Structure 1
Amino acid sequence: MKPLEFTDFSEFKLMLGKELPTGNWYTITQEMINNFANATLDKQWIHIDEKRAEKESPFKSTVAHGFMSVAMISRMLEEAFTIKSVKMGLNYGINKVRFPSPVPVNSELRMLSSVKEIEELANNGIKVTFSCTIEIKGQQKPACVAEFIAALFE
């Protein structure tokens, strides 16, 4: 999938209230889960102990950390659009984060998103709120729903 391309903020602002392109599917491997566990120091057995999870977990396998799906939002948004004039982007915040469904190892995730709000910032910037839903292939309930906020600067 090719991302939407915008020359500058004035073009991008026309996306307010509209959906962005749906992203690619990502397979969540045990290696990815282990790397996230090591980076965040969250080594709870439901994430990293495959044998124990198979026997004791209600999910019958390891599951990804909820915040791992949140951490993937920035990358998934990069797949949806680019603004050529942007020199720098920052993660500004996240509102209304929910994890309706666990993400078992080897699940495939992708994101649906739309532009909910755009506010002007100082220093040639805008603050963009995206409505994000991270889907799990083959499941009705999503892995994550959130309002992701980015600060972008020209």
Structure 2
Amino acid sequence: MYAIASRDDLVAAVGVELGHSDWLLVDQDRVNTFADATGDHQWIHVDVERATKESPFGGPIAHGYLTLSLVPVLASQVYKIDGARLLVNYGSNKVRFVAPVPVGSRIRLSPKITVAEPVGENGFQVVVGQTVEIEGADKPALVAETITRVYY
């Protein structure tokens, strides 16, 4: 776990490889639960039989936004920002779903802080490059730049 204990540590972490999360299984139950939560029941995600027969991927794949939604839980395994009174999701600069995540595969996150600049009196705007890897795959599932406001 990469610990960021102060404002100085946050600035010093820019450009540092923070590590990797544990591998997380993306199973059909998780995909179905996400489909229920979002109302996105497209057959390529939830109809195993049809996806196996008709999709170009040979079976069901996870929703891209499911993969993106797993970034916070995976990031919490890699680094933590201590001493801040508030962290706020401020959005994303860029999100790309580079490769599909086949149901039954495992993913992990490799985050890297690319920007930490002061904003306001007691805050920092932090940009993190997020790469979600698929175990055994040549290409990542997701690359994104997420933005967090950190207030001390």
- TM norm structure 2: 0.94
> Aligned equivalents of 2:75 and 2:85: distance in 1?
16
Secondary structure, counterpart of 1:10 in structure 2: helix
Runs of 4+ in 1 over 4 A off after TM superposition: none
Q: How does 1:11-90 map to 2 (within 5 A)?
A: 11-90=9-88
Equivalent pair of 1:70/1:144 in contact (CA under 8 Å): yes
Secondary structure, counterpart of 2:103 in structure 1: coil
Which residue is 1:120 aligned to?
A: 118
Equivalent pair of 1:50/1:62 in contact (CA under 8 Å): yes
The percentage of aligned residue pairs carrying the same residue is 37
Which residue is 1:142 aligned to?
A: 140
- In structure 1, runs of 5+ residues without a counterpart are none
> Aligned equivalents of 1:59 and 1:143: distance in 2?
14
Q: Which amino acid aligns with 1:48?
A: V
> Aligned equivalents of 1:9 and 1:81: distance in 2?
15
Q: Which amino acid aligns with 2:135?
A: K
CA-based RMSD of the aligned residues comes to: 1.2
> Aligned equivalents of 1:112 and 1:84: distance in 2?
20
Secondary structure, counterpart of 1:145 in structure 2: strand
> Aligned equivalents of 1:94 and 1:37: distance in 2?
22
Equivalent pair of 1:120/1:126 in contact (CA under 8 Å): yes
Q: How far has the Cα of 1:151 moved from its partner?
A: 1.3
How many equivalent residue pairs? 152
Of 121-130 and 105-114, the range deviating more from structure 2: 121-130
> Aligned equivalents of 1:122 and 1:38: distance in 2?
39
Q: Which amino acid aligns with 1:114?
A: K
Secondary structure, counterpart of 1:24 in structure 2: coil
- In structure 2, runs of 5+ residues without a counterpart are none
